[in-house]
Amino acid sequence: MSFDERVWALLKKIPRGKVSTYRQVAIALGKPGAVSAVGNACGRNPFAQKVPCHRVVRNDGFVGGYAKGAKKKIALLGKEGVLIKNCKVAKFSSVVFRF
């Protein structure tokens, strides 16, 4: 399984309405230094409907990038009940999903 496929497999485990961070995904993969590589894998995700890369945010709680734009990412998270204020997940520490 490629690195990207391993990332996508983990992203499928993030429940609707929850978020994780690029760093948490990297650590879960046993590659704590691969934070940027996780972000790149999210950007290459060809399965957006089945692999919820929009549920991965920056370590500081800001939404970060998204292939379809940050506004779209915020809208998707909002539909799932994740409250975003000023491009940051509100109550960030209480909604982080840990693998």
Residues acting as catalytic residues: 53
For the residues of 18-37, what is the DSSP string, one character each? Answer: -BEEHHHHHHHTT-TT-HHH
Tell me how far apart the alpha carbons of residues 65 and 95 are, in angstroms, rounded to a whole number.
19
- Vertex 47 angle, CA 42 and 49, to 5°: 105
Tokens at 30, concatenated: 């046993």
Which single residue is written with the structure tokens 């960030």? 92
3-class secondary-structure state, position 66: coil
